Structure 1
Amino acid sequence: MDKPHIIYILSDEHRGQAMGHMGDPNVQTPWMDRLSGQGASFSRAYANCPICTPSRGTIFSGRHAHAGPVTGFFDVFKPTAPSTATELRKAGYRTAYFGKWHCGIVRDQVPASVAEDATRRFEGGSRNRTPECFRAGFQDWFGFENLNQHFNSSIYELHNPDPTPLEGYETDALTDKAIDYLHQYEGEQPLFLVLSVTPPHFPLVAPDEWERFDPGELQVRANFHDSPEMRDNLATYYAMIENLDWNIGRLNECLQNQPGFENTLQVYFSDHGDFMGSHGMFNMKEHPHEESVRIPAIFNWPGHIPEQGPVNGLFSLVDLMATTLGLVGSEVPVWSQGQDFSPLLRGEDFNPPADVLLEMCGSPRWNLGMPDWRGFVGERWKYAFIENRIELLFDLDNDPFEQHNLARENPEECARQRQRLLELLRETRDPYWDVLIEHGVTCDDPVTDVSANPARGLAYLHE
């Protein structure tokens, strides 16, 4: 078959429950819903490591963070590591990357044009230039590392040593850049293009015209800790998602009117979720709960992926590379740890995995409430082992909002799940956590938090 163009639309911190076709009663996402209805959307898709850098390493390597090229928040994508981009280049693709990367920060790679800038145009964020060797094989580069400056973003274009400012709101500006590139693309090679935007990641800010929600009227989740602050945050989070959905629409209208892009596979997904008021937290992920680890995963390819809407199957980001390669008829490399879900997406017989490995690997540890952990989720049970030997056990059938930790009440089931976790860690070549689980010791003394701003912590950390 002719190779399709491939478009990845990658957002940051969009939890999988927050879309219209997934039942959210507040947010309107007509373009996400259309792509799902005309294709497929995994009803239970997971980020294996719910924090930016290692999650992105998993996305583009098909490897779990503990066994991949990006093993923590302060790591980089190793220069010689194979990736989705390098595999598709072997299949004849041209590759292009737009937006947030966050897998190539080298501390001294800040040009004088940024370090000595007096205009405040490059103020805030990590304005480091991504060295070519840490770009995972992407050829046409229009990226940045980690800014969190939605109205003051900038990108490094191709090999230019100095950044180019973006005007306006980041999601709008990056979509403009990607559309311009598509209009000008005349290559004979099929294109693999990634559009990676920061919103709805914090800071919670959106253009005024998108702030349409009355916080007091929002319908909230059963585990939402209600307060005016939480509602205000959730209202803006939804506004950022609706702006993103509108930009997905703009990109699709471009594709529909651009000769040569009739045969295009699109995938929309996020690198992790956010609690956004659930369990009393916002602007936070990093933990095993559904709001943190559940993500969108929408596949759309007219004529090749039947119209299915939400589909079952425990899909996760480690499967994304294998599934993409499988869909376009390329061989899945032997080093991939993901499973190829392309038969399921084509409507063929398929046995999905019984469980998905979850982890926090290389936490940035901004505070004491950000431990490393290992865990997994199956159809019914979710289990996690935290580095301080706290265990979590949730029965998702009977407690979908994870409000009742059964680890102490049901020690037999907890032991079974712990054993399954050990099996998964060995299968995926985790180098050390079997030692912590089977032979770890207990800390002698309670921890004293000396921070001037003691960490907000989820309740389970204080058990």
Structure 2
Amino acid sequence: MLAQKQTLSVALVTLLVAQLANSKSLAAETSERPHIILVMADDHGYGDTGFTGHPFVQTPHLDAMSKAGVVFNRFYASAPVCSPTRASVMTGRHPFRTNVPNHGHYMRPDEVTIAEALGGAGYVTGHFGKWHIGSVQPDSPTSPGGAGFDEWLSGLNFFDNDPYLSRNGNYEHIEGPGTVITMEATIEFLTKHHAGDRPMFAVTWFPSPHDPQQELPQNVPDAATLYNDQSTKKPGYFREITLLDQQVGRLRQSLRDLGIAENTLLFYCSDNGGLIVESSGGRNKKGSIYEGGLRVPAILEWPARFGHQSIDTPAFAADLYPTLVPIAGAKVPHQPRLDGVDLADVLAGKQTTRPPMGFWHGHTQGQSTYSDRIIRALLEAKQSGRPNPFPERVLKNVQEFPTFGDEGMRGHAAWNAWPWKLHRIQNDNQIKLELYNLETDPMEQTNLVKKHPDRAAQMKTQLEAWQRSVLDSWSGKDYVR
């Protein structure tokens, strides 16, 4: 009897110790919020990394990150072009809701951004690199500062060597590769604030590997001809991928040098599909909402919480906001409708499904934005005392709230209810439907609408209801006025 009690006591103590250990771990997770860094490339396709199987591009640092962290095997941009996905990352909402239907459009100041949410929770916030969802003029509510960033060094669109950028609204001409400059500004921000009493939130949006692809990898022999011997028409694209990979390596090393790597949540992805069809990870490439235009490489590294794992559950850029806001302990009193979902249970292995994801493109034309040309003109006007040459670029149309009739459903929309994906293509009031099973047909080659008419009809109803809700949001119905 005594021996039995002793055995039970040992078991009880072991259980209590385990529970205390778990409690300590959970307490650490809740009492010491992580630093958060979101890194995004511009046009980096799913298959264009070593860890996704590319035959020659060199990405050793992303490969190392993939071995240490969480790899999302089915991660999607929210749109097949840049500005809309960026608006989605900022808000957790489909970009049409935010007034960003295509590249060059401005996100409304009415939106609640992740920088505002985390800033309100005590984070110090910084944006570095490509912005492209608003102005970079001082005091503009559409600038990074207007969107909740305490510090910023930002370009209006992609930039390359020796860019013109805006530092907190002050224009500068900086020598060097734009991707390197972007990372240097990020590391300066982290170094400046890492010993403070506030957690840090940094958004680093590389300008590469977008055309014209004039930047070169650092400290590489014959960098200007790297990949020229490969069977590719775009060696510059792959050179810039290797350059941005080097900058990811610099960032990861800096986190270790600063002693903050363990409790830093670092996330890497691209803003849309790549430029090479053959390695896009699906049908077509950038500009298309077939898989090749949306599927992108994505890795999350947070050593204090996660070891290496691969996740097959689909996710997309709109999920970042609703996932990170609770991690940061932030509260949003008046949260407009979200399209993304909190991935906490997916990351914890408790959930392997998620609600459908909606995509929509081709509704509205994009707007050209020549970053260097515009910021240079702003700088020269300021230096010479001349008036602002681009007053219309402070706000654009963010104070307009359009309404739409039946023609508002135009364009190419898709409803991804994994593994099924329905495409609704409307041109001149003519509607075409395509249905694919992505599990058995990842290249979207065999249209199953006639074989599964009931499923297609049901998904069409869901997609069109979602589209109408998106148009309602675009008209301003979500905002508290």
Q: Tell me whether the two structures share a fold, i.e. TM-score over 0.5.
A: yes
CA distance in 2, matches of 1:292, 1:332: 32
Which residue in 1 is equivalent to 2:456? Answer: 417
Which residue in 2 is equivalent to 1:396? Answer: 438
Give the one of 163, 169, 176 matched to 1:159. Answer: 169
Change in CA separation of 1:400 and 1:260 when aligned onto 2, cut-off 3 Å: closer
Q: Aligned AA for 2:186?
A: A
Which residue in 2 is equivalent to 1:406? Answer: 447
Matched residue SS, 2:79: coil
Matched residue SS, 1:430: helix
Deviation of the 1:327 alpha carbon = 3.4
Which residue in 2 is equivalent to 1:116? Answer: none
Matched residue SS, 1:393: strand
Which residue in 1 is equivalent to 2:123? Answer: 93
Q: Aligned AA for 2:174?
A: L
Matched residue SS, 2:314: strand
Change in CA separation of 1:71 and 1:401 when aligned onto 2, cut-off 3 Å: closer
Change in CA separation of 1:365 and 1:338 when aligned onto 2, cut-off 3 Å: closer
CA distance in 2, matches of 1:394, 1:284: 17
Which residue in 2 is equivalent to 1:384? Answer: 423
Corresponding pairs, count:
386
Any conservation in 2 of the 1:326–1:342 contact (CA below 8 Å)? no
Which residue in 2 is equivalent to 1:57? Answer: 87
Which residue in 2 is equivalent to 1:125? Answer: none
CA distance in 2, matches of 1:211, 1:418: 52
Which residue in 1 is equivalent to 2:311? Answer: 311
- For structure 2, the residue ranges without an aligned partner over 5 or more in a row are 1-30, 217-221, 369-409, 474-481
CA distance in 2, matches of 1:338, 1:59: 9
**How do 1:106-117 residues align onto structure 2 when only pairs under 5 Å count?**
none
Matched residue SS, 2:269: strand
Which residue in 2 is equivalent to 1:145? Answer: 156
**How do 1:195-214 residues align onto structure 2 when only pairs under 5 Å count?**
195-207=204-216, 209=223, 211-214=225-228
Deviation of the 1:283 alpha carbon = 11
CA distance in 2, matches of 1:316, 1:178: 24
Per mean C-alpha deviation after superposition, the further-off stretch among 381-390 and 416-425 is 416-425
Q: Aligned AA for 2:154?
A: G
**How do 1:39-50 residues align onto structure 2 when only pairs under 5 Å count?**
39-50=69-80
Give the one of 178, 188, 191 matched to 2:186. Answer: 178
Which residue in 2 is equivalent to 1:456? Answer: none
TM-score, normalised via structure 1 length? 0.75
Deviation of the 1:372 alpha carbon = 2.7
Deviation of the 1:99 alpha carbon = 0.9
CA distance in 1, matches of 2:224, 2:327: 36
CA distance in 1, matches of 2:237, 2:188: 28
Which residue in 2 is equivalent to 1:443? Answer: none
CA distance in 1, matches of 2:139, 2:365: 22
Q: Aligned AA for 1:426?
A: A
Which residue in 2 is equivalent to 1:359? Answer: 360
Q: Aligned AA for 2:207?
A: T
Pick the structure with more helix per residue. 2
CA distance in 1, matches of 2:137, 2:457: 42
Q: Is it true that 1:16 corresponds to 2:30 in the alignment?
A: no
Matched residue SS, 2:141: helix
Give the one of 427, 430, 448 matched to 2:470. Answer: 430
CA distance in 1, matches of 2:41, 2:228: 24
Which residue in 2 is equivalent to 1:289? Answer: 290
Matched residue SS, 1:133: coil
Q: Aligned AA for 2:244?
A: L
| Rg larger in structure | 2
Any conservation in 1 of the 2:39–2:268 contact (CA below 8 Å)? yes
Deviations 1:103-138 (A, max 9, x none): 114xxxxxxxxxxxxxxxxxxxxxx63753113111
CA distance in 2, matches of 1:28, 1:291: 21
Matched residue SS, 1:156: strand
TM-score, normalised via structure 2 length? 0.73
Which residue in 2 is equivalent to 1:245? Answer: 245
Deviation of the 1:330 alpha carbon = 4.1
CA distance in 2, matches of 1:143, 1:84: 17
Deviation of the 1:289 alpha carbon = 2.0
Task: Kindly report the root-mean-square deviation, in angstroms, between the aligned alpha carbons of the 2 structures.
Answer: 3.0
CA distance in 1, matches of 2:176, 2:113: 32
Any conservation in 2 of the 1:326–1:332 contact (CA below 8 Å)? no
Once the two structures are aligned, what percentage of the paired residues are identical? 28
CA distance in 2, matches of 1:378, 1:204: 36
CA distance in 2, matches of 1:282, 1:204: 24
CA distance in 2, matches of 1:274, 1:390: 26
